[in-house]
Amino acid sequence: MPTALIVGASRGLGLELAKTLHSRNYQVFATTRSPDAHIRKELGSDFPQDINIIPNIDLEQEDAGKRIVSYLKGDLGLGVGKGGETKKLDLVIMSAGIFKADTLKDPSWEDLLEMHKVVSIAPVMVASHLYNSSLFAAPSKFILITSEGGSIAFRTREEGGGNYGHHSSKAAANMVGKLLSNDLYDKQVTVGLIHPGFMKTDMTEGVGYDKFYESGGAVEPSAAAETTVEFILNELPHDLSGSFWAPRGPRDIGQAERVLVPVLGKDLPTPLPLPW
């Protein structure tokens, strides 16, 4: 049975990724910020009970990666067993995210720092601890859920400015993924950077994006999880490690046609390779 670790799985896309991979017969490990008993009660009876929850993981804390590894190797028995057998991770998805709106007039130091910690710094620390603990299978995949919001090419005057923390942390996460792909390539770890689509989540609603749900083609996290998992498992070979993709294509990327049609032509493909 293949194994998958979802970092940030208490709600939204991360939760649906865990459930989708479980339905595809993966042994799933899922991190949450909450205690195990609390999160299971919150998730309800339809949450598969054999998904292994790794509780109390706060990606703003420096020791988050260390705590994940400690739990995987201690309580869950990954790594080298007593008889010499090995059990490692076939897939790791960094799904945790945070979005706090900001403007040039009134940016928040704490909000900016929080977004960068969770989105672009934590993946480095988690990947490092997994690598140093020999928990990546060979081959395996390490996926960063980023966003078209991290594409510098898509930030046009027509779209405007603002949301410095969101866009810069996603752009930094894309750079992190590219650098990880170089470091991990010879270890047979494929790194992917994924824009899963514009989703109807508490996070997008919290920054007022719900008013764009209809016009922007927003989808439920369950639908985004299905296309994301399908792409990761079947359309991301090792020679594409370090590349940036929108598995759902250009349908919910407002600046896709303006920026990409002059380069790729009017029939933009699905999945869509995204520019940095």
| The pLDDT of residue 201 | 84
Q: Residue 7: which CATH number? A: 3.40.50.720
How far, in whole angstroms, is CA 248 from its chain's centroid?
15
261 lies in which domain range? 3-273
What pLDDT, in 10s, does the model give residues 48-97?
Answer: 889 999 999 999 999 999 999 999 998 667 765 555 556 899 999 999 99
Which residues does 83 contact at the CB level (< 8 Å), separation at least 6?
none
What ranges make up the beta strands (E) of 146-238? Answer: 189-194
**Phi then psi for 77, rounded to 5 degrees?**
75, 25
What is the H or E stretch that residue 228 is in? helix 221-234
Task: Please tell me the pTM assigned to this model.
Answer: 0.94
Please give the Cα distance from 56 to 238 (Å, whole number): 33
What's the structural domain count of the chain?
Answer: 1
Please give the Cα distance from 115 to 60 (Å, whole number): 9
| The pLDDT of residue 207 | 81
Q: Is the pLDDT of residue 45 over 80?
A: no
Q: Is the pLDDT of residue 35 over 90?
A: no
